[in-house]
Amino acid sequence: MGLQQTVADEQIGVDVHANAGYSFSRHGFLTGKQSRVLFLRSCGFTQIEIAKELKMSRASVSMIEGRARKQILRARQTIQYYELIQKQYEVSVDIGVRLQQIPMIVLQEADRHGIHLRSNMVEILQAVKKLKASSLGRDGRAMEKIVFRFNERGKLSLV
């Protein structure tokens, strides 16, 4: 569907994006115009094309897009801050523990605190192999302490 059809459909009151789960009302911190501009940009349209169809200047489209991106950045920063202030739990895996035992140790510690981790056994193994490969011996045992942290929302990370 072209930009002209998208805009024409919106002007006669047909929400062409409803089937895709999109509506151009306020989305969180984004205004309807910001949502519309970001959506059209994500579809590959240029600021000039959007400006022509929405009957505004390219500078206005640029300003709307810039403000929307700033709002998205602020929202991301807010989420990062929220993640940081969550209560943190630590799990230490001792020297000599086999790689295959590590996920169970981590998951059991989370269970002990009543927290469901967002990571499964395979993802925990992959993280250790990728981020802490130097901590593993040739026999697949930990050669140094491996420390994990997780928060109340179940986000797991290697320290």
What does the pLDDT read at residue 2?
A: 54
**Closest by alpha carbon to 60, among 87, 96, 31?**
31
Write out pLDDT tens, residues 103-122: 999 999 999 999 999 999 99
What's the structural domain count of the chain? 2
pLDDT at residue 94 in the model: 96
Question: Rounded distance, CA 159 to CA 154, Å?
Answer: 15
Residues 72 and 106 in one domain: no
- Residue where one domain finishes, among candidates 82, 108, 137: 82
List the one residue out of 55, 133, 49 whose CA is nearest residue 99: 133
d(CA 135, CA 131): 9
pLDDT of residue 74: 95
Q: What is the pLDDT of residue 66?
A: 97
Distance of CA 144 to the CA centre of its chain: 31
Regions of the chain short of the pLDDT cut 70: 1-25
Task: Please check whether residues 7 and 78 belong to one and the same domain.
Answer: yes
Both 91 and 78 in a single domain?
A: no
Does residue 76 sit in the same domain as residue 97?
no
pTM (predicted TM-score) = 0.54
* pLDDT score at 130: 94
Could you tell me if 46 and 103 lie in one domain? no
Residue 27: the pLDDT is: 77
Q: Provide the pLDDT for residue 45.
A: 95
Examine the domain organization and report whether 62 and 95 are in the same domain: no
Same domain, 74 and 94: no
Q: Do 78 and 94 reside in the same domain of the chain?
A: no
Q: In which domain, by residue range, is 134 found? A: 87-158
